[in-house]
Amino acid sequence: MKRWLRAAFTLDLRSLAAARIGAGLVMMGDALVRAREFRLFHTELGILPRLGQFEMNPDLGFPNLHNLSDLPEYQGLLLLLHAFLGLLLALGFRTRWTTVLCWYSQHCLMTSNFLVNNGGDAVLCCHLFWAMFLPWGTYASLDSLAAPKDVPRPTSIFSAGSVALVSQVLLLYWVSVWHKMEPTWLSGNAVYYALQSDLYSRPTRSLLLPHRSLLTALTYLTLVWEVVGTLLLIAPWPRLRWLGLLPYSFMHLNFGYFLRLGIFAFSPQLNFLALIPSTAWSRWPDFPRLRRWGQRLNQRFSPGPLWSGRLSLEVSAAIGSLVLYSYMQGIGNKNLRNYNNPLIPDSLDWVANWTGLNQRWAVFVNLPGLMDGWVLVEGRLSDGSVVDLFQERDPFSWAKPVEVSEKHTHFRWPTPLVVISGDPQLPGWFLQSLVWNWNDAHPQRKVVSARFFLMQEPTRADYQDSPPTTTLVREWHAP
Amino acid sequence: MVLDRLVPEETGPSCRAPVVLSKDFPRKLFLTGAWLTIYQDGKPLAPAQVEKVLGGASLGLVYPQRHQELLKLSQPVEPNLFVFCPGAMATRLPEGYGVPVQSNESLQLTVQWMNLDPYLPPSSLEAEVTVQVSDLASLRSLRCQQAAALTLVEGRRGYWGVSRPDPRIHGGECLHSPPFPGQSPMRDALGQQFQSKWYTPKGSQENPCLITAQLPLPARLVAIQPYFRSGLAALELKDLTQNQLLWQANSGKGLAAPCDLFVGHEYQLRTVYKNPDPVPRAALAMLMLYLEAP
């Protein structure tokens, strides 16, 4: 049993290197994609300005560099720095400290505008946090290229850090199943509702939607797989582990194929990369030219010796406590309407806020209760024409945009739209930011007044049609 | 619905129930027929008994505008698809025709009850509608159009929207009647007010009504389903221009063959009610026309 447990929680360092490179690339890609809606998501002219952030989330207290200023230049610099840190992480330059900075940057980015967060961001943040306690720069890194060739390097690690990272993977799926113990999933309807959700579903849903029994089977298969398949992920036998890794990876890619989830299709893959069994790396290539180039580069920056990954007893105990905290947080947060976790006292909420270990893996639960529909922002312009300020449809049209999710300029829009439409304060900032955005792009056709409409088209059981209802959320008039 | 008291015609309680055509992935279907069965305490009622408890019923669209959007129809649609009344409890469209709907559309059955039998013991009544559907793409689409007999409530001449009526062209004028309680009048372009319900006194009463303005001309008339109250003696659809009887209720058969309705022709719905009682009876007459675009 002891051997089995040790094998289950041991990570191959070459697999960790693959995960590190993946994490760096995901960070860079994310920064690039965020730049597309940079103004609306990250600046003072956006949907949640800095003052609004303080007002909406006053208890956070996390020392966030993003909150020092929301000037576009400053926020742009931080986003650029985020991408650069991702590059350094992928290259494995001074990996240990780079990892710390990457985690901090990721956590800062997430807390700077909580409206636009996606489950994939949280997965990445947790992954980076635990990776701070792992020597994932031992292979395929600039650090490793600088190390003397004759010094033997370990190929695997078993430590509090590896236990924590593997536990995080288990926690992600088991807590997710725990949250899924609700009528939509238990009745086999969850995939049906998820694919019917206009805010997320992609046109490819038409491949699955007509097959009702397949949707029911996929719902139950997901539930069973997230329990049983997760055990396969930590199987000590390589072939069995592959049987867990490949379907899991396929499952997340499929999520991304049928639903517009952005980073959520990719960041969980980092966990699977880290869990690749050692047998996959039986032939670890040596690139002499690359090594020489790395050594030359390292002579200039003197990275220092490779970190062995050894942790002191105190640090290991602290990691163990955080793993326990994470489980209690994941299990105790089941009641989505009540943020009070019965398993953790309020006085310890700061731990999750400061570490980014938010383990609320309620992915696609209570789907019939979620907002389903689309948003229209009717803007009346100075030249008398009417346009849609959100979809940028000129002229304005009441017709349903098809497909709704694909018409959003960013995969991150659904979450803010759901939150904004249900909040008394946020619609004002949302409208104002869209007006500024339009006026800057079209100085000859300024917005005179704007109206924010919520078109709700809730999904009904058994494919029954539900005509959309129109709700006027907020109006804006030029001063 | 439980009936435990006397409920006169037109004042009875009405019930609505959703009708689900299919629980499968939405597709286009054609409704080719529908019939209504009334159950009293779980047993089907004979036609003579149905007359005593059923005011009327209809199977219709909950969201007609949505129907128009889903089927990409250019013209507004009537909410009702099928109507039922004692004496006309079933509609079967001719072979090869159907009313198109999306299989997941919201339909509802509306039933109005009455009780003219003072000795009827409290009884539980249920209405069951059976809808015949087909998914054959080769079926020809029909649209539903109601045409009702009207009476003049306020105005000079009983011709809807005709400023200079000529009895040789427009036929006889419709009945003049006092306002029917609970029904709001309809106003034509000349400001005259009409209603689709009236009271018939003892004896026989004829109501010739010009219905040309209610028809989307030109069109091909494929089937007719009448909707009326008890005491109906005659119900006829006439082409006044050609002096041709197109259809007659209770003649034992529907339309012999689809017939064309032309622009420039005048059409009349002639209704005759017979009331043997000294107490005036509520009357109405309406045709559900199933039309094909020419």
- Asked if the Cβ–Cβ distance from A462 to B23 is below 8 Å, we say yes
- In this prediction, residue A303 carries a pLDDT of 61
Residue with more model confidence, B211 or A281 = B211
- Asked if the Cβ–Cβ distance from A463 to B104 is below 8 Å, we say yes
Give CA–CA dist A314/A334, Å, rounded. 31
- Half-sphere exposure for B148 (CA within 13 Å, toward CB): 15
Answer yes or no: are the C-beta atoms of A250 and A218 closer than 8 Å. no
The β-bridge relationship of strands B2-3 and B123-134 is antiparallel
Q: Which residues of B touch A212 (CB under 8 A)?
A: 23-25
pLDDT digits (tens, 9 = 90+) for A219-242: 999 999 999 999 999 998 999 999
* Site from B19, B20, B22, B25 to mutate, A interface, most A CB atoms within 10 angstroms: B25
Return the beta strands (E) in B53-169 as ranges. 54-61, 80-84, 90-92, 97-102, 107-113, 123-134, 140-141, 143-148, 151-154
Say what the pTM is. Answer: 0.86
Residue with more model confidence, A339 or A274 = A274
Q: Note whether ipTM > 0.85 here.
A: no
- Confidence bin at A60 (pLDDT 50/70/90): low
Answer yes or no: are the C-beta atoms of B187 and B193 closer than 8 Å. yes
- In this prediction, residue B251 carries a pLDDT of 60
Closest chain B residue to A196, measured at CA: B25
- Asked if the Cβ–Cβ distance from A462 to B66 is below 8 Å, we say no
- Half-sphere exposure for B219 (CA within 13 Å, toward CB): 18
- In this prediction, residue A289 carries a pLDDT of 77
Give CA–CA dist A66/A63, Å, rounded. 9
Q: What are B143's strand-pairing partners? A: B291
Closest chain A residue to B65, measured at CA: A467
Answer yes or no: are the C-beta atoms of A78 and A65 closer than 8 Å. yes
Closest chain B residue to A468, measured at CA: B66
Residue of A362, A359, A363, A366 lying closest to A344 (CA atoms): A359
Closest chain B residue to A207, measured at CA: B25
- In this prediction, residue A384 carries a pLDDT of 93
Of A18-27, A388-397, B253-262, minimum mean pLDDT range? B253-262
A107-146: buried (b, 16+ CB within 10 Å) or exposed (e) per residue? bbbbbbbbbbbbbbbbbbbbbbbbbbbbbbbbbbbbbbbb
Q: Which two tokens stand for residue A464?
A: 């029954």
- In this prediction, residue A58 carries a pLDDT of 62
Residue of B137, A61, A397 lying closest to A388 (CA atoms): A397
- Taking CA atoms, A26 is separated from A18, A93, A102, A138, in Å, by 12, 17, 11, 20
Report the residue from A211, A463, A465 with minimal CB separation from B66.
A465
CA B77, B78, B84: angle at the middle one, nearest 5?
A: 150
- Asked if the Cβ–Cβ distance from A209 to B105 is below 8 Å, we say no
pLDDT digits (tens, 9 = 90+) for A70-87: 899 999 999 999 999 999
Provide mean pLDDT across the span A254-272.
93
Q: Cα torsion for A170, A173, A176, A177, to the nearest 10°?
A: -100
Predicted confidence (pLDDT) at residue A441 exceeds the cutoff of 60: yes
Answer yes or no: are the C-beta atoms of A124 and A106 closer than 8 Å. yes
Contacts of B196 (CB under 8 A, 6+ apart): B148, B149, B150, B151, B183, B186, B284, B286
Q: Which residues of A touch B24 (CB under 8 A)?
A: 212, 463
- In this prediction, residue A301 carries a pLDDT of 65
- Asked if the Cβ–Cβ distance from B25 to A209 is below 8 Å, we say yes
- Asked if the Cβ–Cβ distance from A462 to B70 is below 8 Å, we say no
Q: Please give the distance of CA A361 from its chain centroid, rounded to a whole number.
A: 11
- Half-sphere exposure for B19 (CA within 13 Å, toward CB): 27
- In this prediction, residue A337 carries a pLDDT of 54
Residue of B231, B233, B192 lying closest to B210 (CA atoms): B192
3-state secondary structure chain A: CHHHHHHHCCEEHHHHHHHHHHHHHHHHHHHHHHHHHHHHHHCCCCCCCHHHHHHHCCCCCCCCHHHHCCCHHHHHHHHHHHHHHHHHHHHCCCHHHHHHHHHHHHHHHHHHCHHHCCHHHHHHHHHHHHHCCCCCCCCCCHHHHHCCCCCCCCCEECCHHHHHHHHHHHHHHHHHHHHCCCHHHHCCCHHHHHHHCCCCECHHHHHCCCCHHHHHHHHHHHHHHHHHHHHHHCCCCHHHHHHHHHHHHHHHHHHHHHECCHHHHCHHHHHHHHCCCHHHHCCCCCCHHHHHHHHHHHHHHCCCCCCCCCCCHHHHHHHHHHHHHHHHHHHHCCCCCCCCCCCCCHHHHHHHHHHCCCCCCCCCCCHHHCCCEEEEEEEEECCCCEEECCCCCCCCCCCCCCCHHHHCCCCCCHHHHHHHHCCCCHHHHHHHHHHHHHHHHCCCCCEEEEEEEEEECCCCHHHCCCCCEEEEEEEEECC
Closest chain A residue to B18, measured at CA: A464
Task: Give me chain A's average pLDDT, please.
Answer: 90
Give CA–CA dist A417/A377, Å, rounded. 12
- Interface residue B28 vs chain A (CB under 8 A): no
Residue numbers in chain B where pLDDT is lower than 50: none
- Asked if the Cβ–Cβ distance from B70 to A212 is below 8 Å, we say no
Answer yes or no: are the C-beta atoms of A377 and A453 closer than 8 Å. yes
Q: For chain B, positions 152-181, list CB contacts with chain A under 8 A.
A: none
Q: Which residues of A touch B65 (CB under 8 A)?
A: 467
Give CA–CA dist A106/A123, Å, rounded. 11
Give the gap in angstroms from C-alpha B153 to the nearest C-alpha of chain A. Answer: 38
Residue with more model confidence, A56 or B92 = B92
- Whether residue A395 is preceded by a cis peptide bond, meaning omega within 30 degrees of 0, is yes
A392: left (phi over 0), alpha (psi -120 to 50) or beta: left
Closest chain A residue to B25, measured at CA: A210
Q: Which two tokens stand for residue A103?
A: 């985690």
